Structure formats: structure tokens, C-alpha cells
Amino acid sequence: MTQYILALDQGTTSSRAILFDHSGNIKGTAQQEFLQIFPHSGWVEHDASDIWRSQLAVARQVLQEQGVGAKDIAAIGITNQRETTVLWDHKTGELVAHAIVWQDRRTAALCDALREQGKGPLFQQKTGLVIDSYFSGTKLKWLLDNVPGARARAERGELAFGTVDSWLIFKLCGGLHVTDTSNASRTLLFNIHTLQWDDELLALLDIPRSLLPQVVASSQVIGHTEAALFGAQIPIAGIAGDQQAATFGQACHQPGMAKNTYGTGCFMLMHTGKDVVASRNNLLTTVGWTRDDQTDYLLEGSVFMAGAAVQWLRDGLGIIRQSSDVEALAASVPDTGGVVFVPAFAGLGAPYWDAYARGTIVGMSRGTTRAHIARATLASIAYQSADVLEAMQKDSAVGLTELRVDGGAACNDLLMQFQADVLGVPVVRPIVIETTALGAAYLAGLAVGFWQSQQEIVAQWQVQRRFEPAMSVDERQQRLTTWRRAVERARDWDEHTR
């Protein structure tokens, strides 16, 4: 009997592989960081061959370290950084260019032009998304328009486009070209009502349909790995974008349940059921997952810089040696000393959607220290999430009773307590906070009978700690007002890119 599910968790700064047992517990994990490429201000790229090499390496590493063979793996589930855009030769697998990462802002002017043409309502109605350079569609158009020969090759049917899930499956399965509904829904090219690629949107962005992968369910056997990779074939049975996978892994399976993932960015998602709920407050409506011929939908608010802001303290300023040091440094002062940090290095996401905002630190004095800046960095993550939750509650007309949290920074007690304080609702951290990988594992395991039902998954979810809000309503409002003053100073800054 197979004992494990292997989750491949391909993130923005690292690739991970995690083995899960029947109880949803972690048996083993391996991780590798890979190179971040910043060719110009606001541009972010990856070499997709680095993504593949690192993901394959950690998958092999975790199996070897745990003494597990391919025969012990019931299925593989894949979860991935979303919106990152990869273009390759569909026969040879040769990459056409570096992948354009979701954080990249090079298509902001194109998005401005589409909005000025009045296309915003059309895209939002069909895709659930706002027109923003965050999403894959305009990145793909940029590649076709700017890489020599790419458009001609695409029109001849020689090229394949995919988000990172598609790229990994292509490499794992020897040329299979698919994506799931959750990843497809993040491209600006996919109609979330019909669950099909949309010809009208493809025409607007001048994208040949032949580039696009086949869309499959998030939980089904879609192919098998090539035997040479792991010693035998293993079915790939789960695919979901990282935030949808985390929502599934947090057992937010009922309307009104919500989670926040603290990773490179910060992503809050609320389950809205089987119906599409259109946002009136600049949130995204997105496919959660498709399984058993049923599609669940979510409302989402995306914060571009969360853990990445802490990495900047480490790599850019050099005021901490490793990211985990930020909590002790921030806790060494009682407050931020009046400092407010808006980490808009790649613009602002929901609910502002300002591609021209840039990182800003205000309120400094001669008494400001690196500890104050560290504390302001943690506070900025909580404030951005509070902005998203306010918009989400307006859209859903549902009062949130608790927020489930996961991701690396969810381990930071100081941040989690401050998050509860500025939200005014309890923040609940589960025992297993690797819920992105866990969600992918659950989707794969359900497809092959490793788990029998979603009810079995819900029963496995357990609380590790609950953070209750301790801040007065008046203080909360005062702090949020100050935060939003700082946001206004960061907005619309990078005007020279227009």
C-alpha cells in the first residue's frame, strides 16, 4: 500500500518538496532557493530552467533522505507561484526567454491603455480580475511583441505558454501541456463562468489560441511522470495555484471561511461557494478548485510585498542576518517610534491596484533605529491585510469570525498578535502551517483514493495557537488612519514610467 503523497511547492524564491502521510503530517521536506533576476526597475524575472532543476532536485532529495521510493508514493500534487509566465518551444522544451514573474510591472502602461479603452468591465465580468500587470495575459503579449521571432513562431504553432504548473508538468510528463482551472483563472484569458479560454479576450491581447494549455480539473489523474525521473512512474493528480491550494489545505471549504497566507506576498481568500461573487471593492473573483465536476469560487485580495519586505531588510539593508531574526529585533522596541513603512516595491495590490506606487518610509527622526524599521515592516504586513479584509467584508456581506493563517511569517508571534489587533478578529494558526503544499497533497490524494472525502480532511485540521485581539477600537482606527496617510504618500510615485 502506498504510504505518502508528494507535494511539489514551487514558490517565488524557492522550490520545495514535502512528503505527507495519511494523517496530513509532514514526513520529510527539502528546499532550494534559486536566482532572482532584476533587469530594470520594476522588472522581475526567473530562469525557468532554474525552477525545473531546483524542483526536481528537492523532489529527489526528500525521497532519498526518507528512504522512500516511487512505489511508496500514491500521487504527486503540484502547487505553484501563480501568474508567472513561461514561454517555450512545445517540441524541444527550449525556453524562449526568462519567465516574467508575477511581481513584474513592465506591462503597466499596456494595462493603462486597456483601461482607457474601456475594457476594464469586460475583463472583470469574464475573468473576475482587474486589468493589472500582475496577471499573465499582458506578460505573454509582451513576450510575443518583444522577443525577436516569438510572435511568428507562436502563429506557426511552435510555442507553448504556461504558468509554472504547466512548465513543471511539461517537464515531468515528457511534453504534456495542461493547466488547471485555478491557474487558468489568473491569466486574464479565461472565462470563469464557462471555464474556457475566451476568444474575445485572446483577440484583444493578440494571443494565438494554439499557445494555450488544455484546462483540466484541480483534482484528477492528468498524467504520469517519466519513469527515469524517480525510478518508476508516479501519477500527477493534483494541481492548484498556491493560494487556492492553501485555502483548500486550511479546510476553508464552506462559504464565509477565510485564510491569509504570509509568503513572499500576502494573500487573503474567502470561500464564496459554487457561485461567482463579483467584487465592488477592487478584489478579485477567482476559481478556487475544480473536483468531481464541481467548481468552488473565492474572493481574493493580493498584497505584493510581505515576506519579501523582510527579505529586503536582510538583503537590501543588511540589518538582519536571516529572516527569522526580524521578530526579536522588532520586539526590542515597544512600538515603531512613529515610523510607517509602505513596502510598495512592485506597486500596490488590492484594494489600491496602483502599479506606480513605490516603497516609502515616513515618520523617521534622529531617534529611529533599525529596530523601529523592523517593527514597521511587520506592521506593514498586518496593515495591508487589514485593508484587504475591509474590502472583502464589504463585498461578501459576511462578518468574519476568525482568520486562519499559514505561510512562513505565520510563525512570527509578534506579527500574528498585531494582525489580530488591527483586524479585530481572532487569528488562528494550525499545527501544520505548510498548508499550500498540504492543499496540493489533499487534491492529489482525493483523486486517487488516498483520502476518501473532504470531511476526512476537515477532521485533520487542528489549531496550534489562537491570537485574540487586545487593541481598543479607537487605537485600531487611529493606527489604520495613520497607515492610510502613509499609503497616499507612496501612491502614483513612479510617474516617469508612464
Which of the residue ranges 131-135, 423-427, 491-495 would you say has the lowest mean pLDDT? 491-495
pLDDT at position 496 over 70: no
| Bind-site residues for sn-glycerol 3-phosphate | 12, 82-83, 134, 242
β-strands 340-342, 284-291 pairing: unpaired
Known binding-site residues for ADP equal: 12, 16, 264, 307, 408, 412
Q: Provide the pLDDT for residue 275.
A: 83
Residue 368 domain-assigned (yes or no): no
Asked, as a colleague might, if the bond just before 351 is cis with ω within 30 of 0, I would say yes
Range of the domain at 24: 4-243
Q: What angle do CA 420, 426, 431 make, to 5 degrees?
A: 105
Backbone torsions φ then ψ of 64, nearest 5 degrees: -65, -45
Residue 482: exposed, middle, or buried by beta-carbon count in 10 A (0-12, 13-18, 19+)? middle
Question: Would you list which residues are annotated within the binding site for ATP?
Answer: 12-14, 264, 307, 311, 408
The per-residue pLDDT for 349 is 85
pLDDT band at residue 341 under the 50/70/90 scheme: very high
- CA 370, CA 191: separation in Å to the nearest integer? 47
From residue 88, alpha-carbon distances to 80, 85, 100, 144, 188 in Å are 18, 10, 13, 11, 20
Q: Which residues define the annotated binding site for glycerol? A: 82-83, 134, 242-243
Task: Go through 163-186 and write b for each residue having 16 or more CB atoms within 10 A of its CB, e for each that does not.
Answer: bbbbbbbbbbbeebbbbbbbbbbb
Choose from 160-174, 259-273, 424-438 the range with maximum mean pLDDT. 160-174
Q: pTM to 2 decimals? A: 0.86
Q: Is the pLDDT of residue 301 over 60?
A: yes
In a domain, 212, yes or no: yes
Q: Residue 238: is it exposed, middle or buried by C-beta count within 10 angstroms (0-12/13-18/19+)? A: buried
Q: What is the torsion angle, in degrees rounded to the nearest 10, for the CA atoms of residue 438, residue 439, residue 442 and residue 443?
A: -150
Are 349 and 302 in contact, with CB atoms under 8 Å apart?
yes
pLDDT at 498 over 70: no
Whether 279 is covered by a domain: the verdict is no
pLDDT at residue 395 tops 90: no
Q: Please report, for residues 84, 112, 238, 277, the alpha-carbon distance to residue 120 in angstroms, rounded to integers and kept in the order given.
A: 21, 10, 32, 17
The binding site comprises 12-14, 16, 82-83, 134, 242-243, 264, 307, 311, 408, 412
Q: Are strands 266-273 and 284-291 parallel, antiparallel or unpaired?
A: unpaired
Is 166 contained in some domain?
A: yes
Q: What is the mean pLDDT of the chain?
A: 93
> Looking at the 3D structure of the chain, how many domains does it have?
1
The CATH number linked to 57 is: 3.30.420.40
Closest listed residue to residue 135, CA positions, set 193, 201, 88: 201
> For residue 337, is it within any domain?
no
Q: What is the mean pLDDT of residues 253-262?
A: 88
Each residue of 177-225: pLDDT tens digit? 999 999 999 999 999 999 999 999 999 999 999 999 999 999 999 999 9
Q: Does residue 142 carry a pLDDT above 60?
A: yes
| Cα 256–Cα 257–Cα 263 angle in degrees, nearest 5 | 130
333-360 mean pLDDT: 91
103 falls within a domain:
yes
